[in-house]
């Protein structure tokens, strides 16, 4: 599965469009991570636990998007965009979407 965030896959020809595919996940913070982050919060800077959590969630959202594209018979996703939004205090949605296509 080739994934890009430009309209094409350079050097390859798109032969078929399957429309939009998307994957998302909603994650809440973990109490353990939250305690550590609470301390780091006082001094500011990066919250490593959360960085990792969001990284994992984003990979999961992308996996779901890829699965959807595979079901359609696509072998690439172009024009991928990400979105993050706070659903409630302490829980966020991670979204990934793009256009599923078949390359020659």
Partner 1 sequence: MADFLFFVVFVTAVFFIGQHIQKKHFASLEAREQALLYLPAVVGRKVFNDDDVERAWLVHGTVVVSGDYFKMMLAGLIKFFGGRISAYESLLDRSRREALLRMKEAAASEGAHMVVNVRFETSKIDGGNPSQQTTGMFEMLTYGTAIRLKAQ
Q: Which of 5, 6, 22 is nearest to 94 (CA)?
A: 22
95 part of the interface to partner 1, by CB under 8 A: no
Which of 30, 41, 71, 72 lies at the binding interface for partner 1 (CB under 8 A)? 41
Beta bridge partners of 20: 99
44 part of the interface to partner 1, by CB under 8 A: yes
90 part of the interface to partner 1, by CB under 8 A: yes
Q: Which of 98, 78, 72, 75 is nearest to 18 (CA)?
A: 72
31 part of the interface to partner 1, by CB under 8 A: no
Q: How many residues bind partner 1 (CB under 8 A)?
A: 37
In terms of C-beta density within 10 A (0-12 exposed, 13-18 middle, 19 or more buried), how is residue 62 classed? buried
Which of 31, 32, 45, 104 lies at the binding interface for partner 1 (CB under 8 A)? 45
Min dist. Cβ of residue 25 to partner 1 (A)? 14
Beta bridge partners of 17: 101
28 part of the interface to partner 1, by CB under 8 A: no
Q: How far apart (Å, rounded) are the C-alpha atoms in residues 66 and 51? A: 22
Binding site for partner 1 (CB under 8 A): 2-11, 29, 37-38, 40-47, 50-51, 53-55, 58, 80-86, 89-90, 92
């Amino acid at each position: 599965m080739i994934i890009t965030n430009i309209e094409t896959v350079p050097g390859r020809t798109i032969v078929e469009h399957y429309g939009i595919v998307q994957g998302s996940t909603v994650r809440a913070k973990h109490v353990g991570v939250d305690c550590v982050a609470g301390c780091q919060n006082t001094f500011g800077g990066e919250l490593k636990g959360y960085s990792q959590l969001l990284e994992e969630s984003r990979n999961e959202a992308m996996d779901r998007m890829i699965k959807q594209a595979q079901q359609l018979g696509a072998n690439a996703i172009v024009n991928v965009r990400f979105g993050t939004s706070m659903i409630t205090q302490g829980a966020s949605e991670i979204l990934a979407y793009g256009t599923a296509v078949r390359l020659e």
